[in-house]
Amino acid sequence: MMYVTFFITFLLLIQFVLSFKKEKNDKVKRRLSMITDKEAAGRIIEEEEKKEMSALQRVFRRMWLRMKRRFERKSGMRDTGIELKLLQAGNPFGMGPFEYRLLQIVMMIALPFIGVFYSLLVKPDIGGMLFGGLIGFLIGLVLPSYYLGLKTKQRSKKGLRELPDTLDLLTVSLEAGLGFDAALNKLVSKSEGVLAQEFHRCLEEIRLGKTRREALLGVRDRLVIEELRVLISSILQAEKLGIGMVQVLRVQSQEVREQRKQRAEEAAMKAPIKMLFPLVLFIFPSLFIVLLGPALIQFMTAFGG
């Protein structure tokens, strides 16, 4: 029981760290939208951190940053893949690679204890305890990666639904005489959703010194949407060759809508097959009971008597 209490306290401590980190990040993002210089961004971040943290949080933050630097020095480039996965999932809870690894380790330690404790309550024997601990360990190992994959799929589906309207708005803005960056700015101001957030980040990166190509490639990497990857590659190729951007976007918009129509037709063709299992499992037995039940009862009564 003492171990369970210890790990619950540790989980609450992690939640406390993530909560004040998320609040800090939200306020810093609002301030970052007003600046265009990297040095000014660093000063704003430091000012926000000093204002928002209490003395206890400052002490804890020093310890936290020391642990984080030590971890980053040891891990090196190995966590680049984790960082990309977190970005593709929408950076849930504002976690970085260090926080994700720490959460994974805590779950791999805490969940086996919970599994053992539950096994003791149900059936106190060695086999049950080992089985409960093993199940808890496997859940702690797989659950964070599964959660990131689930969030990535949800985010990709949202972005795919928003893509045709996004292309239409960009095309109309360019036809009205706006430049590409101004059209992106109009898109960000007039729409909401996954694509608007990513293009907003793209514009901020351009203002902070990145080239348009680098910023757009970042959008392509952060969203696992094949149609968007083709679109960004076409935009970069058109910019390189001097082709009209409006024509490229119009062609891409038609292709995206055609692909959406094909996906809808494919889903409609799969619907009867998906309905077959619940039909056989739930409807047919009830139908057989209603139709054959009275005859079976009458048959049993006649021959039983």
- What tens digit of pLDDT does each residue of 170-228 get? 888 888 888 888 888 888 888 888 888 888 999 998 888 888 888 988 888 888 888 88
pLDDT value for 59: 63
Nearest C-alpha neighbor of 256 from the set 289, 278, 230? 230
Q: Please provide the DSSP assignment of 189-242 as one string.
A: HH--SHHHHHHHHHHHHHHTT--HHHHHHHHHHHS--HHHHHHHHHHHHHHHHT
Q: Kindly calculate the radius of gyration of the chain based on its CA atoms and give it in whole angstroms.
A: 28
- What tens digit of pLDDT does each residue of 102-111 get? 888 888 888 8
Q: How far apart are CA 105 and CA 112, in angstroms?
A: 11
* List of residues 6+ apart from 85 with CB closer than 8 A: 148, 152
Judge whether residue 49 has pLDDT over 70: no
Q: What percentage of residues in the chain have a pLDDT greater than 90?
A: 3
Q: Please provide the DSSP assignment of 18-37 as one string.
A: HHHHHHHHHHHHHHHTT---
Q: How far apart are CA 4 and CA 11, in angstroms?
A: 11
pLDDT value for 4: 47
The answer to whether 191 and 169 are in contact (CB under 8 A) is yes
Q: How far apart are CA 31 and CA 27, in angstroms?
A: 6
Q: How many CA atoms lie within 13 A of 303 on its CB side?
A: 5
More confident residue, 51 or 20: 51
Count CB atoms within 10 A of the CB of residue 111. 21
More confident residue, 32 or 275: 275
- What tens digit of pLDDT does each residue of 20-43 get? 444 445 544 544 444 444 445 445
Q: How far apart are CA 269 and CA 223, in angstroms?
A: 28
Which residue stretches of the chain are H helix? 2-32, 38-52, 55-75, 80-88, 97-122, 126-175, 180-190, 194-207, 212-222, 226-241, 245-278, 284-304
Q: How far apart are CA 290 and CA 24, in angstroms?
A: 63
Judge whether residue 92 has pLDDT over 70: yes
Nearest C-alpha neighbor of 101 from the set 148, 56, 159, 38? 148
